[in-house]
Structure 1
Amino acid sequence: MARKHLFLHYTRYTHLYLGVFIAPALLFFAFTGALQTFSLHETTRGSSYKPPAWIATLAQIHKKQTMTVPVRKLPLPGAQAANPKSDKTDKPDKMDKPQPSAVLAKQHNPLPLKLFFLLVSIGLFISTLSGLYMSYRYSRNRKLITALLITGVVIPIALLYL
C-alpha cells in the first residue's frame, strides 16, 4: 500500500510541476491556434483584409518557430499570360473538368468544425488558467511554482532569440 501511495504522490507532483512549467506555452498555443482557425493571421486572395503585425508574428512563431514573417509576392496581372507553362493549347488539362472529390470539397462547410476548434481552444485556455490557480491555491511551495512559471515563460522567449 505504501508503494502505491508513494507512486501517486510523485505522479501528482510531477504533473503539478510539469503543468506549471508548460502552462505558458499551452496558453500561447491555445490563443494563437484560435486566431489561426479563422485565418486571422493571413491575407486571402481577393480580400482587402490585412492582418495586424502582432497576429502575423505570433502565428509565425506558432507555425515555424521564428518571428520572421515572409512577404508574399502577389502575382502580376499579366504574369500568367507570359508564363509558357500556363499555355493550355498544347494539351488539355485533366483539371478542366471538375473532379468528384473537388465537387465534394466545395460543398463542405468548415464553419462548424472551426467553431468546435475555437471551443477547444477556449477550453484549453480556461483549463490551463484554472490549473495555474489551483497550483497556487493548493500548493505549499509557491516559490517553486512561481520559479517554474517564470522559467516556462523565459526559456521559449530566450530560445526564440538564439
Structure 2
Amino acid sequence: MTSKASTLKLLRQIHLYFGVFISPAILFFAITGALQTFSLHETTKGSDYKPPAWIVKLGQLHKKQTLVVPVRKPQPPAPGAAPTKAADASAPAASKPLLPDAIAPKPKNLLPMKLFFLLVSIGLVISTFTGIYMAYKYNRNKSWVTGLLVAGIAVPLLLLLF
C-alpha cells in the first residue's frame, strides 16, 4: 500500500471514529436547536404558551450546559408603560416619541430563515443517522463503532452528574 493510500485510510478511520463518538451530541444539538429556532423553550410576552418542562431543560442544556433553569425575577414595568397618577401630573410633554408610527421600521419576516434552519436541523439528523448506518455497514470492527457510540452517549451524561 502506498503512503498516500495508507494516509487516506487512516484519515477515513479517524473521521469514522470521531464521527461516531460525537454523533449523539450532533443529534442532540440539531433537535434542541430546531426547538429553539421556534422559541418552543420559552414563553413570550402576551402569550398563553407555557413550554413543557423537558423542552425548557433541554434548551437550558443546549445553551448553558446545565439542566438548572434559573428562576426569573418579574420584569419591572417598561418605561413607556402606563404611569401612575402622580407621575401623570409631572410628566413633561416632551416624553412622547419623536418619530410618528408611520416612520417606524417594518418588522422583518423571520419565518423564511427559521424554516431554513429547521431544514438544516433535519439535514443534520438525517446525515448523522446515515453516517451511523454506514459506520456499521462498511466497517469490519463493529464493536469499536458500538463502543464509541455508547461512549458518545455516556460521557455527556456522566459530565452532567459532576
TM-score category, normalised to shorter length: 0.7 to 0.9
Q: Which ranges in structure 2 are unaligned for 5 or more consecutive residues?
A: none
Matched, 1:132 2:132: yes
The superposition leaves residues 62-103 of structure 1 with CA deviations (integer Å, 9 ceiling, x where unpaired) of 0000001122233467997799xx99x68899993359xx94
1:11 aligns with 11
TM-score by length of 1: 0.84
Instruction: Note closer, same or farther for the CA distance 1:96–1:144 as it changes in structure 2 (3 Å cut).
Output: same
Counterpart residue number, 1:108 = 108
Distance 2:93 2:6 in 1: 71
Alignment match, 2:152: 152
Match in the other structure for 2:121: 121
User: Counterparts of 1:13-28 in structure 2 under 5 Å?
Assistant: 13-28=13-28
Residue 96 (structure 1) aligned with residue 97 (structure 2): yes
Give the TM-score, by structure 2 length.
0.84
Equivalent positions of 1:46-85 (< 5 A) are 46-75=46-75
CA distance, structure 2, for counterparts of residue 150 and residue 93 of structure 1: 65
The residue type paired with residue 96 of structure 1 is P
1:76–1:134 distance in 2 versus 1, CA, 3 Å:
same
Helix, strand or coil at the partner of 2:144: helix
Once the 2 structures are TM-superposed, how far is the Cα of residue 128 of structure 1 from its aligned partner? 0.2
How many Å separate the matches in 1 of 2:49 and 2:16? 42
Residue identity opposite 1:97 in structure 2: L
Distance in 1 (alpha carbons) for counterparts of 2:70 and 2:7: 49
Measure the CA separation in 2 of the matches of 1:60 and 1:161: 15
Describe the superposition over 1:84-134 as per-residue Cα deviations: whole angstroms up to 9, x where unpaired: xx99x68899993359xx944x43100000000000000001100000011
Moved over 6 A (4+): 76-83, 89-95
Give 1:16 shift. 0.2
Structure 1 vs Structure 2: percent identity of aligned residues? 55
Indicate the structure (1 or 2) with the bigger Cα radius of gyration: 2
Aligned CA RMSD, in angstroms, stands at 3.1
Number of residue pairs matched? 156
For 1:153, give the aligned amino acid: I
